[in-house]
Structure 1
Amino acid sequence: MNFSVLNRHEQIDRATDETFDLLVIGGGITGAGIALDAAARGLSVVLLEMQDFAEGTSSRSTKLVHGGLRYLKQFEIKEVAELGRERAIVYENGPHVTTPVWMLLPFHKGGTFGKFTTALGLKVYDVLAGVKKGERRFMLSQEETMEREPLVKKDGLLGGGVYVEYRTDDARLTIEVMKAANERGAVLFNYMKAVGINTTNLAFKEVVGEDQLTGKSHTFKARKVVNAAGPWVDEVRKMDEEVSGKHLILSKGVHVVFDQSDFPLKQAIYFDTEDGRMVFAIPREGKAYVGTTDTFYEGDPKDIKAEQSDIDYLLKAIAYMFPTTNLTQEHIESTWAGVRPLIHEEGKGPSEISRKDEIWQSAGGVITIAGGKLTGYRKMAEKIVNLIVKQLEGEYGKTYRPCTTKKIPISGGDLSGSKHFEAYIQQSIKKGMAHGLTEKESERLARLYGTNIDTVLSYTKKAKGLPPMIYAELLYGIHHESVAKPEDFFVRRTGTMFFNIATVETYKEAVIEEMQRIFGWKEEEKTKYTNELEAELAKVKV
């Protein structure tokens, strides 16, 4: 299957002629997981996303596939056990987008955790989450904690616990799941906004999609429709039913990024703030990022950005745990802000509301899934596709295969598990260097694209104004990852906007010129996309 915007018109024509088994509204990690599971079972699938894939919550998380340690505080035992199992599956099926990192949990006099509760909590976590032997927690003395991370506050420090979390690139994880679904026949459209749902026909439902790139409307037909629109779930529901009772409430999360020359963090840290919340500080590729905030948000998720109050909160948290860093707003290179779509619980604050997913169905038959966490995306998809398959089999007498996604590598993860990944990286570095890339560039591409590295390298050449590595990534993104706009490339395919903003500033004009040449944009289209990119840059800067 083709996964490029270059032949979008033909794909739309074919898709509007077909009646699919399933239409998914929403192209975040939940929608991607549903599309993959359904396609792998033999269902015909079409997915509509109103923005770019992963543009909402699925590119703006803390970028951890974590086992839910904090749920132990809320005694959500089943949640911890399930997330722990799912975390291991995500890692084995896509080791190129998931990296185990040792996380330090320092404990101080008067803090949330003491030595006993930290040791006990981490031990229970190991058991519940089924943590591998080599990744089980261990405890540190005060001196060992300081040795592991000298920046941690010395005053009142009693020691620390160390456990494994899994760092991810959330947007790339979503894209790789999408590509795996596409390889199995799913038809996936970004920039196709669902604007109407008609459930009156007994044989199929109709969803009107408005193409955000051309302004044209198209009607898609499917026997079943799933609303997996994340923060926009209630907006989609309004097309089909009156939204009452169960509804979403949005929680805002903000992260800030520093260069490690300013914040020389050696070790990933999960730490107490003065107000009793927990915040992450994580080193990544020469940078260090800190987050997240957790406050209710009532605006349009499309317009979300870091406000001064968010910046102040995180700087205060950093000063509290890392007092010698003396970081100020001027040190912040970039930020990102996103929302968590939570199911409303009366009287609870944002950090207290459960992250559990829920599924319900309207009178018109549209199935909605809301809540949940990135780590649990595969299990959420399994639950919802089980329901769809049961209905289709009952209504049409068809039979479908059972869920197999536990063992399906996502795109780029064809390595027979994680144990071969580091050896594969070393082989790929040699290939990259043979294409004229540096060792560092070759390693970056191998870790970002996994077993798709050969295809990426096939595009390596010097282009006008662009280094070979960036040119290869751009061409691969356009031909194999549905890149339609410059911001798709810089934000969600490469993460450059968040973690190397200087590169965006340096090469944005050359990238836009090349995209204009490939897509044949008129000058007004080029201006429009340039302005959109500049607006995105303005959002992430402080």
Structure 2
Amino acid sequence: MFSTLLRPKMKQQAAEFRFDVLVIGGGVTGAGIALDAVTRGMSVLLVEMQDFAEGTSSRSTKLIHGGLRYLKQMELKIVAETGRERKVVFENAPHVTEPERMLLPFYKGGTFGPFMTSAGLAVYDRLAGVDKDERRKMLSPEETLSLEPLLNQEGLLGGGHYVEYRTDDARLTIEVLKKAAEKGAVCLNYCKAESFVYEGGRVSGAWIRDMFDGSVFRADAGHVVNAAGPWVDTVRQLDGKGNNKHLKLSKGAHIVVDQSRFPLRQAIYFDSQDGRMIFAIPRGGKAYVGTTDTFYEGDPGEVLASEEDIRYLIEAANGIFPDVRLHRGDVESAWAGVRPLIHQEGKDPSEISRKDEIWESDSGLLTIAGGKLTGYRKMAEHVVDQIAERRPSGGWGPCVTKHLPLSGGDFARPEDLPRFIEGKANEAELYGLTREEGREIAAFYGTNADAVFKFAHAAGEGDGLSPADRGRILYSIHEEMAACPADFLVRRTGWMFFDVEKAKKIGGQTADYMNRMLGKAAVRKGGSNGPARLPGGTDVTEG
């Protein structure tokens, strides 16, 4: 069950059944824990106070990467573990993860020189267990410019070419949750844990409020996991039994520019004039630049890309790509999120370790904090291992997620995806879709494409929406628990970031159609992120 229309039934099940595990937080970490636990034989309930992935897990740099810069901090364990996880994520979800050759140019007087770049990338490849054909290559200045002519030529000494993986962070989270639901986990968005339930001094569940209708129900569980990301400390305060660890939030912002203004050919990892490392990445006719790295003290639900953030990223891009001459009017969209880092006294945001830690309170509440998008599966494994160890009699199996395809990723090999896409392009015409629409849907939804085709065929055209758009909307409601336009336009499709014109064009029609399909006001009024608007004025209450 992963349909918005089944929320009443899911809430009833959540209130009547005692689960083995209650997970608080529906970002990628909580999703990974739910999937790991349910595939070991545990009964699982997951609750998220906003939409799934609405916090940090839809606001990252959208890369599955090992963190090359952590070599400078000698965080070798992080580099090794997350580096090896890159390939695992790719193989389990090739429709939302793809190899991305990254170019690291080095300049006279820059942070990275030829020797340091070569040595660092060699160590990176070794720690991450990179395949021989994907290992780093060192390039001359001429070879570097042939890959990306927009680069600043002054002082250029060469570049390092290596492999990372690009992803859609929100889609990855949704596909993990869909697989968890397929295996039997009950996952509810817009349901907030407001207080804990105790038995004999041990946490044994929580009182949950439905953020749509205000109703409250009690969820009982043998084990409770706090995976609330930036809200981890808020959830711990409900327990009142913590330790001296706490979070330090770091804000990261990104901007998106059309490639007609920024014809970026090659993903670039570069150091800005103040020494911070920044990515510039081409994606679907756009180029996006990020990220900033500054401490954030405000409400994590209200974080936005400020004019200062945008100006900083424009200046950084113009420094490395001087002929582009970006200005404020070129920025089509922007996003910002916060990284939930574990506080380390006296360190700047970029210096704080990205390692994850698991804490257990006196009441038995397990909290997972820190970590990176890339390492979500291993983080989940560590948490569920601790839960399994609490059961002396055993009965729960080992972790199986390393070789478990996510929803939509049922391919024998990732290399099969291009042939699959072309086959579905041919089939699309049988459902009244164009070949190009079929190709886009297959590339986006993977082996779930047939379900989208069927929804599109049944829905037809109307309300200013094409059959393909209606099919996507219906699929997001019935199979991905989308409950309002922001869920669909931001986290189920990413159009608000990477296709603003489409979001503007169909935003109002999407709201009307979802309203009719759901039989209630689909637009969320307020909420933890407060009101906001799509381009053109359609209220989607998205921060």
When the two structures are superposed, what TM-score results if normalisation uses the length of structure 2?
0.95
The farther-off stretch of 321-330 and 130-139 is 130-139
Match of 1:410 in 2: 406
Secondary structure in 1 matching 2:332:
strand
Structure 2 CA distance for aligned equivalents of residues 354 and 233 of structure 1: 17
Match of 1:139 in 2: 138
Structure 1 CA distance for aligned equivalents of residues 203 and 312 of structure 2: 50
The farther-off stretch of 199-208 and 45-54 is 199-208
Structure 2 CA distance for aligned equivalents of residues 157 and 400 of structure 1: 56
Secondary structure in 2 matching 1:105:
strand
Secondary structure in 1 matching 2:336:
strand
Structure 1 CA distance for aligned equivalents of residues 476 and 239 of structure 2: 35
Output one character per residue of 1:450-477: Cα deviation in whole Å (capped at 9) or x when no partner: 1000011111121321012211110100
Residues 60/274 of structure 1: CA separation in 2 closer, same or farther (3 Å cut) = same
Match of 2:424 in 1: 428
Structure 1 CA distance for aligned equivalents of residues 311 and 542 of structure 2: 15
Q: State the Cα distance separating 1:534 from its structure 2 match.
A: 4.3
Structure 1 CA distance for aligned equivalents of residues 449 and 363 of structure 2: 45
User: Structure 2 counterpart of 1:271, which letter?
Assistant: F
Secondary structure in 2 matching 1:419:
helix
User: Structure 2 counterpart of 1:50, which letter?
Assistant: M
Secondary structure in 2 matching 1:151:
coil
2:395 to 358, 377, 399: 399
Q: State the Cα distance separating 1:206 from its structure 2 match.
A: 2.5
Q: State the Cα distance separating 1:398 from its structure 2 match.
A: 4.5
Q: State the Cα distance separating 1:16 from its structure 2 match.
A: 0.7
Match of 1:150 in 2: 149
Q: State the Cα distance separating 1:419 from its structure 2 match.
A: 2.4
Match of 2:38 in 1: 39
Q: Are the aligned partners of 1:335 and 1:540 in contact in 2 as well (CA < 8 Å)?
A: no
Superposed counterparts of 1:19-418, under 5 Å:
19-201=18-200, 205-243=204-242, 245-391=244-390, 393-394=391-392, 397-418=393-414
1:459 to 449, 455, 461: 455
Q: State the Cα distance separating 1:208 from its structure 2 match.
A: 0.6
Q: Are the aligned partners of 2:196 and 2:239 in contact in 1 as well (CA < 8 Å)?
A: yes
Structure 1 CA distance for aligned equivalents of residues 9 and 541 of structure 2: 36
Aligned length in residues: 536
Superposed counterparts of 1:436-451, under 5 Å:
436-451=432-447
Secondary structure in 1 matching 2:488:
helix
Q: State the Cα distance separating 1:255 from its structure 2 match.
A: 0.2
Q: State the Cα distance separating 1:438 from its structure 2 match.
A: 3.5
Secondary structure in 2 matching 1:293:
coil
Structure 1 CA distance for aligned equivalents of residues 203 and 358 of structure 2: 21
Q: State the Cα distance separating 1:422 from its structure 2 match.
A: 1.8
Match of 1:477 in 2: 476
Q: State the Cα distance separating 1:32 from its structure 2 match.
A: 0.3
Aligned-pair identity in percent equals 55
Structure 1 CA distance for aligned equivalents of residues 202 and 243 of structure 2: 27
Structure 1 CA distance for aligned equivalents of residues 289 and 488 of structure 2: 24
User: Structure 2 counterpart of 1:113, which letter?
Assistant: F
Structure 2 CA distance for aligned equivalents of residues 69 and 55 of structure 1: 27
Q: State the Cα distance separating 1:68 from its structure 2 match.
A: 1.6
Structure 1 CA distance for aligned equivalents of residues 92 and 532 of structure 2: 36
Secondary structure in 1 matching 2:335:
strand
Q: Are the aligned partners of 2:249 and 2:296 in contact in 1 as well (CA < 8 Å)?
A: yes
Structure 2 CA distance for aligned equivalents of residues 4 and 237 of structure 1: 30
User: Structure 1 counterpart of 2:313, which letter?
Assistant: L
Question: Any gaps of 5 or more consecutive residues in structure 1?
Answer: none
Q: Are the aligned partners of 2:355 and 2:372 in contact in 1 as well (CA < 8 Å)?
A: yes
Q: Are the aligned partners of 2:36 and 2:384 in contact in 1 as well (CA < 8 Å)?
A: yes
Q: State the Cα distance separating 1:307 from its structure 2 match.
A: 0.7
Structure 2 CA distance for aligned equivalents of residues 88 and 310 of structure 1: 32
Secondary structure in 1 matching 2:533:
helix
When the two structures are superposed, what TM-score results if normalisation uses the length of structure 1?
0.96
Q: State the Cα distance separating 1:520 from its structure 2 match.
A: 1.2
1:535 to 519, 533, 539: 533
Secondary structure in 1 matching 2:146:
helix
User: Structure 1 counterpart of 2:20, which letter?
Assistant: D
Q: State the Cα distance separating 1:540 from its structure 2 match.
A: 12
- 1:511 is aligned to 2:507: no
Match of 1:495 in 2: 494
Residues 203/363 of structure 1: CA separation in 2 closer, same or farther (3 Å cut) = closer
Output one character per residue of 1:67-102: Cα deviation in whole Å (capped at 9) or x when no partner: 221111111112111111111110110000101011
The farther-off stretch of 336-345 and 445-454 is 445-454
Q: State the Cα distance separating 1:312 from its structure 2 match.
A: 1.3
Structure 2 CA distance for aligned equivalents of residues 191 and 540 of structure 1: 14
Structure 1 CA distance for aligned equivalents of residues 364 and 54 of structure 2: 27
Residues 265/526 of structure 1: CA separation in 2 closer, same or farther (3 Å cut) = closer
Q: Are the aligned partners of 2:93 and 2:409 in contact in 1 as well (CA < 8 Å)?
A: yes
Structure 1 CA distance for aligned equivalents of residues 214 and 525 of structure 2: 14
Structure 2 CA distance for aligned equivalents of residues 313 and 204 of structure 1: 45
